[in-house]
Structure 1
């Protein structure tokens, strides 16, 4: 697919899903503001009363226009680079680049030039997902090896222009205007069509043909490793952070980060809670570990919890995966190849285990990164739905799917538009089941078995929202009717480096025809 075709598909997707309404709202907002200031503005941009300062949408920027002002959300940001000044031998120049976005389809690269002290102070004053205002910037055409759409050392952008910001003549500051939330909403809008990504198993199985290329990845955050301090060959200090990812077909894949800004963004991620859409990561074959991995470089942009059907579906899958799979020791640098996840269709499960046999199988598989399924005939011996709902239910923000407390009035995800105090009153959340139970037969007991989703709903015969409204007495009555009853339990056991754990796929009371099996 050519760049032009790719951009056409990208714009079609965004306009169909988000852009039309967003742009109409933004244009109406611009016009309203302009009417207040000047009485008329047919372009949809804003101009100060003195006519000297023009706020321009990224899609409308033109070269050599004086006193241009841009407002947008920072979707990626690179470190400060220092290099010799050719015009002044013996002195150094500094710059850093970031990417600004003000609509679903429009984003542009901006480079700030200046002295080292000034740039380092300014660089630390904002981060990815902040909304900034750039005043008196200069717009110019891209200068990239003869191809105007080939951004070699910075992210690809649909704009044919780039922005230059000067320490002497320009100003960059955090933005807190009346339309602030319209920009923060862009933090979760995908930069590419929803199906424009490779699955992790595709990367692993087609490794040699993809080595060195830039691709898009949609995946679950499995683990964020501790940041490691390193030194380059020329003595420069470096920081590295490994992110372990997974999806439906791959239980482990490594994403490597070297940039401080990207590493800081990753520190806000929670395993299982966050889905990432990583655009233009570089995939390579690690000869030392003999496996494929991905690296974030200057071209990479990462969208956290993208608002797309594919991302929501992957998030739902993450909630069905046993929680212990996400509990990896901090700082562990695990590099293993993937294993195929078993099919969770219970109709294909026939192997019957006793609790003792299940425990033995789990102990032999510790460290294998494998999984297996089976059937248990066992009594339900622990079901603590009457001891506080905090261990039974949890809430997720309806906007970004971030996990929040039962009594939260705002989203805890700082990148979500519903985390702002201005969103108080409009915040809403969905409630979900997540509890640990115990199962017992004549050979022993298996504790901390995860019961979630549809399996919990079928057992308790009420939705999570309905359970939230029930008093302690009613919950105790439900518990009394289930504990010490015998169930046929379909389970899936997931084995990680340190331990194995069990998740219930389905459970129902044993009927008379299965008494002999039980």
Structure 2
């Protein structure tokens, strides 16, 4: 292999000899094994591994490595996304647009592809100071983003977009554990699901990761903090879910926290509606203004009682027209006022509730906990609300934090200073009134065995007396006479 010379990806042409390229691995597929009986010379099982390489903001190429199963297994496990590598003496082949294999690899800028054959070419780590210029390429979009779509647009046009590829920017809100599924030919393969939102709609998209590299990388994703750019995600019919969905496929390129202005803006948009709540780490609070679905309590219950598909969980937002039957603002329980470490929440959210006998954080990674900053604790309102409509009850809905302050018209500190009659007066601003209640509903999980009904807003519905429902009037009269 003497005589190889370094080439930029943009300078490659089909048939080039002694090529030598350097770049950062931005995508990697699971290796595949080919049975020896299917190979030309029947000389043992073969393996194949494909990855995507990039050496500049504009230039990228797909690389396919062939060899013995042992060689490919070792190579694919030694090189990871983010590694800067040298590809020495590969075959430089022309890409053909009509080649069916093109739909199973990411779209790249190069008109060529590289093939590495065991014994004739090499892939090795580029261990030199110049690797620093390649590493930032991992956070740049693989192409110009001229057609980003919102989830709202995709959800509203699923049929029209069917079998098309779309680019979308989302914030991860939930990551599942790794699961296994058996294929029809008896193989056990791993997958991991995650949920994501973009603030354009109250709905979250559920996506599956099948490639081992991305399954492992997802383990370190921090919900609400990790933004993903999905280039060439596919809108297609899912036989497993029996509906048209947005999916991550082999052609999809994932960029974590891409270095684009939209990334920070989207993360801030999502965080704007998230309470610093010990439960909110498991889901992201949607913008109540994006909620359009109207449901009854019976419909909410029916949806919660449906068994979710493997890898999915029940989570939705809805508008409920219901009466506020009770609110525990008169409770003597200390749980209605929660004190949290404010500074800690800025460094390792969500912030945690502190005990009465603690006045600062015990987390040494927090500036307040390690003594470099004065402790600063904040108080939050935390109420339980019971709702009723013609179809049933919802008991123990959560009214928390800033939402509770807006609904009651007072801060947590002002509420703490109130005497009981003043708190009772707050309650009767909404009690037995029919309201527009925006709810975020999370089905039972391993962490929280009971469904969570998170109230995002409550607004009284102004109705004339003659339009009041007779059954509701009777219900309220009985409620007042029996309990008040």
Q: Residues 61, 228 of structure 1: CA spacing in aligned structure 2 closer, same or farther, 3 A cutoff?
A: same
Which residue matches 2:360? none
CA contact (8 A) 1:451 1:503 kept: no
Structure 2 length as normaliser, TM-score?
A: 0.64
* CA distance in 1: counterparts of 2:134 and 2:44, whole angstroms: 39
Q: Residues 296, 481 of structure 1: CA spacing in aligned structure 2 closer, same or farther, 3 A cutoff?
A: closer
Which residue matches 1:356? none
Cα-Cα RMSD = 4.6
Correspondence 1:220 to 2:174: no
In the TM superposition, what are the counterparts of 1:37-436 in structure 2 within 5 Å? 52-83=3-34, 84=36, 86-89=39-42, 91-145=44-98, 151-248=102-199, 249-286=201-238, 289-319=241-271, 320-322=273-275, 324=279, 327=282, 341-343=287-289, 367=304, 369-371=316-318, 382=337, 384=339, 389-390=343-344, 392-394=345-347, 406=366
Which residue matches 1:37? none
Q: Residues 372, 158 of structure 1: CA spacing in aligned structure 2 closer, same or farther, 3 A cutoff?
A: same
* CA distance in 2: counterparts of 1:321 and 1:139, whole angstroms: 50
Q: Residues 56, 210 of structure 1: CA spacing in aligned structure 2 closer, same or farther, 3 A cutoff?
A: same
Segment drifting more, 162-171 vs 209-218? 209-218
Contiguous gaps of at least 5 residues in structure 1? 1-49, 329-338, 346-359, 397-403, 408-432, 461-478, 506-518
CA displacement, residues 150-201 of structure 1 (integer Å, 9 cap, x when unaligned): 8233111110011111220222223332133322211221123335232222
Correspondence 1:484 to 2:427: no
Which residue matches 1:420? none
Equivalent pairs counted in the alignment come to 376
* CA distance in 2: counterparts of 1:220 and 1:233, whole angstroms: 33
Q: Residues 492, 130 of structure 1: CA spacing in aligned structure 2 closer, same or farther, 3 A cutoff?
A: farther
CA displacement, residues 440-471 of structure 1 (integer Å, 9 cap, x when unaligned): 7999x99883459xx9xxx99xxxxxxxxxxx
CA contact (8 A) 2:318 2:438 kept: yes
Contiguous gaps of at least 5 residues in structure 2? 292-296, 305-314, 350-363, 368-375, 387-395, 430-436, 444-450, 459-484
Q: Residues 174, 492 of structure 1: CA spacing in aligned structure 2 closer, same or farther, 3 A cutoff?
A: farther
Q: List, as ranges, runs of 4+ consecutive aligned residues in structure 1 with deviation greater than 6 Å.
A: 363-366, 373-381, 433-436, 440-443, 445-448, 479-482, 485-488
CA contact (8 A) 2:106 2:251 kept: yes
* CA distance in 2: counterparts of 1:436 and 1:197, whole angstroms: 40
CA contact (8 A) 1:279 1:301 kept: yes
* CA distance in 2: counterparts of 1:276 and 1:318, whole angstroms: 13
Shift of 1:86: 4.5
Shift of 1:114: 1.0
Shift of 1:69: 2.2
Correspondence 1:438 to 2:385: no
CA contact (8 A) 2:148 2:167 kept: yes
2:347 partner SS: strand
CA contact (8 A) 2:108 2:142 kept: no
2:181 partner SS: strand
Q: Which has the larger radius of gyration?
A: 2
CA displacement, residues 71-129 of structure 1 (integer Å, 9 cap, x when unaligned): 21111111222335653146443211100011111110001111110110111002222
* CA distance in 1: counterparts of 2:63 and 2:379, whole angstroms: 50
* CA distance in 2: counterparts of 1:254 and 1:441, whole angstroms: 30
CA contact (8 A) 2:384 2:399 kept: no
* CA distance in 2: counterparts of 1:72 and 1:296, whole angstroms: 24
Q: Residues 269, 292 of structure 1: CA spacing in aligned structure 2 closer, same or farther, 3 A cutoff?
A: farther
CA contact (8 A) 1:70 1:135 kept: yes
Shift of 1:484: 2.8
* CA distance in 2: counterparts of 1:492 and 1:435, whole angstroms: 26
Structure 1 length as normaliser, TM-score?
A: 0.60
CA contact (8 A) 1:73 1:186 kept: yes
Shift of 1:252: 2.0
Which residue matches 1:331? none
Segment drifting more, 288-297 vs 159-168? 288-297
CA displacement, residues 47-87 of structure 1 (integer Å, 9 cap, x when unaligned): xxx98342222122234444322221111111222335653
CA displacement, residues 281-324 of structure 1 (integer Å, 9 cap, x when unaligned): 22223366454323322211101111223222221122123464
Which residue matches 2:452? 499
CA contact (8 A) 2:28 2:81 kept: yes
